[in-house]
Amino acid sequence: MAYLSKRSQQINPSSTLSITARAKKMRQEHIDVVSFAAGEPDFDTPDQIKQAAIDAIKSGFTKYTPSSGIFELKSAIQKKFRLDNNLNYDIDQIVVSNGAKHSLFNLMQALIAEGDEVIVPSPYWVSYVEMVKFCGGVPAIVKTNKSCSFKLDGDSLKKSITKKTKALILNSPSNPVGYTYARNELEDIAEVCIKNKLFVISDEIYEKLIYENGRHISIASINDDIYKRTFVVNGVSKAYSMTGWRIGYMAGDKTAVEAISKIQDHSTSNPCSISQKAALAALSLDSSVVDVMRKEFESRRDYMLVLLDEAGMEYIKPQGAFYVFCDISKTGLNSFDFSSRFLTEKHVASIPGSAFGDDGYVRFSFATSKEQIEKGIKRLREFLDLLI
């Protein structure tokens, strides 16, 4: 439309959100849809968290708070970083936003100037590229492949740096592939970033969902130099099944935090006061609450992988998050056609890899019950029989 800004016209819709919404709508129309599209845990938000929100409402904690979040929540975040990630931040290095997506968006608004290049390893989470474009930046997509489990390494990072490169977006555990970076891999990447004065935007939203006793390592904790160049983004959505509450946070250099606080001052103001109290309760929970959900995800992952093996589907084994990135090359379909025919003909929703920058794959989420997983993969076998 001619009257719209160039900036807003450059943005593509979010396939993850639109396909999930389409699957929900089909269900409302009484179609028996299996959704492997979901980008959110299917568990209910734990009761202790809900109670904290009810208490906040009853006690009248329903007014504006500081734009960058309440002190108690920032203190809990500060403690979380210290205990979980061995990262020390002052309170004024932390800003709370409306979900990790909002933290990323505001951080990019603060960081990226017109024409700045931002390295985005592909496959990437859908919103990174659109956010960079929205800021007037240029996404520099670095393709990775199956042979390196789709992970970025120092050499390919080095090759993609130009005079205009400002930052790298790193996502571990990854959406959509599910890989996690090991310490030596992070050291390799950190070294290149330090040498080339790049900033790192480290999206760690899936940190609590790592399987087989794996441990999350934040790139910011590798050494002091990379700590200074890294902005760590995290939130409560995935770990505590709180996607609808909209609380995310970012920690890093104080100057960027000040800029983001000003952006929030003039756009959203504070994240919802009630949700902030709920997030405070979430961060104060005993780790056993998250463990129960993580164990269930691990068991569903294992179940889905066994069924995918039986169906002859190749995939990258996820170490974290709740997605399996499946190779559809032998079907002869591109990912959009695969996902849309799978939904129309077999009523199973999945996300085409093209949304993540790789057309040879589709993403299946295992954030759904084992019964649904079984039903969906049975339909997948029928679908593959038609195609191959």
319 lies in the site for ligand PMP, by CB under 6 A: no
| Residues numbered 40-59 forming contacts with ligand GLU, rule: CB under 6 A | 40
Please report, for residues 40, 54, 114, 293, 366, the alpha-carbon distance to residue 297 in angstroms, rounded to integers and kept in the order given. Answer: 12, 28, 41, 6, 7
Residue 162-201 contact track with ligand GLU, rule CB under 6 A, x = bound: -------------x--------------------------
The residue sitting closest to ligand GLU, measured at its beta carbon, is: 39
Tokens found for residue 28: 């409302």
| Residues numbered 279-318 forming contacts with ligand PMP, rule: CB under 6 A | none
Tokens found for residue 23: 């699957």
For CA atoms 233, 235, 239, 242, the dihedral sign is negative
Whole-number minimum distance, CB 176 to ligand GLU, in Å?
Answer: 7
Instruction: Please say whether the beta carbons of 334 and 354 come within 8 A.
Output: yes
What Rg do the C-alpha atoms of the chain give, in angstroms? Answer: 21
Instruction: Please say whether the beta carbons of 176 and 123 come within 8 A.
Output: yes
Residue 39-78 contact track with ligand PMP, rule CB under 6 A, x = bound: x---------------------------------------
| Residues numbered 166-225 forming contacts with ligand PMP, rule: CB under 6 A | 171, 175, 203, 205
Interacting partner of 368 out of ligand PMP, ligand GLU, none (Cβ under 5 to 8 A depending on kind)? none
Side-chain-side CA neighbours of residue 304 (13 Å): 29
Whole-number minimum distance, CB 326 to ligand GLU, in Å?
Answer: 15
Interacting partner of 235 out of ligand PMP, ligand GLU, none (Cβ under 5 to 8 A depending on kind)? ligand PMP
360 lies in the site for ligand PMP, by CB under 6 A: no
Q: Toward ligand PMP, which CB reaches closer, 301 or 346?
A: 301
| d(C-alpha 250, C-alpha 218), whole Å | 13
Q: Which residues contact 26 (CB under 8 A, 6 or more apart)?
A: 33, 343, 347, 349
DSSP 271-326: S-HHHHHHHHHHHTS-HHHHHHHHHHHHHHHHHHHHHHHHTT-EEEPPSBTTEEEE
The residue sitting closest to ligand PMP, measured at its beta carbon, is: 99
Q: Which of 81, 89, 125, 383 forms a contact with ligand PMP (CB under 6 A)?
A: 125
Whole-number minimum distance, CB 378 to ligand PMP, in Å?
Answer: 27
Q: Please, what is the Cα angle at 201 between 199 and 203, to 5 degrees?
A: 160
11 lies in the site for ligand GLU, by CB under 6 A: no
- Chain positions contacting ligand PMP, by CB under 6 A: 39, 99-101, 125, 171, 175, 203, 205, 235, 237, 243, 248
- Chain positions contacting ligand GLU, by CB under 6 A: 14, 16-17, 39-40, 101, 125-127, 175
